[in-house]
Amino acid sequence: MKKKIAPYLLLTPMILIMGVLVFYPIVTTFTYSLKKWKLTSPGDIRFIGLKNYRNILQSDSFWYSMQNTVYILVLVIVLTTILGCLVAAFLKISKKCSGILLALAILPWALPPFVNGILWKFVFFSGYGFLNKLLIGIGAVEKPVEFLASRWLLLFVISIVVVWRSVPFMALVCLAGRQSLPEDVYEAAEIDGGTKGKIFLHVTVPLMLPFVGVGLTSTSVTAINVFDEIVALSGYSDLAKNILMESYLTTFNFLDFGKGSAMTYIVLFFALLLGIFYLRSLNKEVEY
């Protein structure tokens, strides 16, 4: 009997912490999303069901933010996957100074997101930005390019900053995955007459897909939840706001806790869908 109770007693502190810090806020936020709750009208708090969600989905501001979110998400996923795999391949090949190279690869991941955004702002700023000075210096442009004043250029810059922060994790996951692959599989493929190209396509790629899936899950959540970089590069303007910033502005600028909570759940649902998709793909590859 004691042996059956002991594991649950040991898990009790973790269960309490998770309940207070994770599950309780999730449930509370959902109840807020079903109410009309504006701090500007504290006497008019009432249950309105799914009306907040309906108003959000009918809002032009939400779909503007969703377009920005999807744009950033697609760019970040594509560039992070390509660059992460390339960095992992370079670290796998390079034996000399591998420890130093690995430390340098991790550095962008270790920087706080807001600091990361500020550093890149010095690169893309129109007045004293490094990139504009370089382009003018080589004669590519005659006047500074307004990277941070155009919606799509700004979103592209934000995507680059997020990619810079996401590539190290993707590279580490891919590097760990590549180093864990059994060498006898490659020896057998070479004995069977496989060329390097065929071995890469038919052996390395299928075996690496589960590891890439893990990296993609983390990268997707990062791309959806990007906030600090947007604030660092463009402040709280509407130009590059995504759905997370839309949720923040609704809750804390307009003091609409009901609608803001509903927006938070939409962000959570969006991230959850991507996570489920990647995890199901990962399970299929593992079973295969």
Q: What is the pLDDT of residues 38-91, one digit of tens each?
A: 888 888 888 998 999 999 999 999 999 999 999 999 999 999 999 988 888 877
- The CA distances from residue 160 to 71, 108, 120, 235, in Å, are 12, 12, 9, 17
Q: Is the pLDDT of residue 219 over 60?
A: yes
In the chain, where does DSSP find H-type helix?
A: 2-18, 24-33, 51-57, 60-93, 98-110, 113-124, 130-137, 151-180, 183-191, 196-199, 205-224, 228-234, 243-248, 257-287
Question: What is the average pLDDT value for the chain, to the nearest integer?
Answer: 84
Min mean pLDDT across 95-104, 129-138, 225-234, 247-256 is at 95-104
Q: Is 192 left (phi over 0), alpha (psi -120 to 50) or beta?
A: alpha
Question: What is the per-residue pLDDT for 159?
Answer: 94
pTM: 0.85
Q: What are residue 38's DSSP bridge partners?
A: 256
- Mean pLDDT calculated for residue range 102-112: 78
